[in-house]
Amino acid sequence: MARIRGTDRIHETEDGLQGPELALKYDEMQRHIRDRGWLREKVDSVRDAGISSGRVLEAGCGPGYLGLEWLVQATGDTTLAGVDISPAMLDRARCNARVYGVASRTGYTVGNILELPFPDGSFDHAFSSASLHEWADPVRALREIHRVVRPGGAFCVSDLRRDIDRTTLQFMKANIAVDMRPGFLTSVRSAYTVPEAADLLRQAGIRADKVTAVQMGLVIAGRKEKKS
């Protein structure tokens, strides 16, 4: 296996996984991850960031499993809006929302993270997972997520981490379909380290409560400052 730890970051793509066939393969991979319980860490990260109810955005939602797993645990009359660059991914997300029985509480919109199609302060909270490494301009993307959250609202961005330990990397690779493994390794090579993610936040002018390493990646979490 190609060495990952200690390597320079290699940019992947901002195009996302496009087309029905790739969306279906990615859906199958994410469903497998969900069924093994490996989304739990990400759901916990979202909840630990203070995101448990309200009108919430999932940016780069893909087939929707993380947001849907979170939504079924949410309190009150919580709603979830998903945005993704790929129409095929959103077709999968809508289908999955129906299976989860929460279609009436979800809405999915085609959009680019660099120019989110929502007014300022549209959401109580926002989160994103497994997309940071794909963003062509991560500083602008982080500002966009921050922009659409109301003052006082929470945000949480999680992703892979380029310097994950070799044992974890091998474990993750072994539990991905063979034809998806090259893309997974490319994603790891294009992921950020914790110091690099913290530097992106500094460039964006966004204050986060924490930028931390977790077993399978990293988590950025914070709250948008209230207006004085």
Query: Is 198 domain-assigned?
Result: yes
The angle at the Cα of 136, spanning 132 to 140, to the nearest 5 degrees, equals 80
Which residue(s) pair with 110 in the sheet?
84
Q: Which of 15, 4, 49 is nearest to 133 (CA)?
A: 15
Q: What is the pTM of this model?
A: 0.89
Query: Is 4 domain-assigned?
Result: no
pLDDT at 50 over 60: yes
Q: Mean pLDDT, to the nearest integer, of 3-12?
A: 59
pLDDT at 23 over 80: yes
* Cα–Cα dist 23/29, whole Å: 10
Look at residue 195 in the predicted model and tell me its pLDDT: 97
Give residue 67's identity as a one-letter amino acid code: G
Structure tokens of 144? 């966009």
Q: Which of 180, 174, 161 is nearest to 28 (CA)?
A: 180
pLDDT at 147 over 80: yes
Query: Is 211 domain-assigned?
Result: yes
CA distances for 93 relative to 33, 57, 69, 109, 227, angstroms: 15, 14, 12, 11, 35
Query: Is 3 domain-assigned?
Result: no
Question: Residue 114 class from Cβ within 10 Å (0-12 exposed, 13-18 middle, 19+ buried)?
Answer: middle
Query: Is 166 domain-assigned?
Result: yes
Q: Mean pLDDT, to the nearest integer, of 41-51?
A: 95
Residue with tokens 């496009």: 18
Look at residue 9 in the predicted model and tell me its pLDDT: 67
Q: Which of 104, 112, 111, 98 is nearest to 80 (CA)?
A: 104
User: How many domains is the chain built from?
Assistant: 1
pLDDT band of 227, cuts 50, 70, 90: confident
pLDDT at 11 over 70: no
Query: Is 81 domain-assigned?
Result: yes
Q: Mean pLDDT, to the nearest integer, of 44-57?
A: 97
pLDDT at 188 over 60: yes
Query: Is 11 domain-assigned?
Result: no
Domain that residue 96 falls in: 20-223
Q: Mean pLDDT, to the nearest integer, of 173-184?
A: 76
pLDDT in tens, 82-104: 999 999 999 999 999 999 999 99
Mention every residue, 6+ apart, whose C-beta is less than 8 A from residue 38.
Answer: 175, 216
The enclosing domain of 57 has a CATH number of 3.40.50.150
Look at residue 21 in the predicted model and tell me its pLDDT: 87
Query: Is 1 domain-assigned?
Result: no
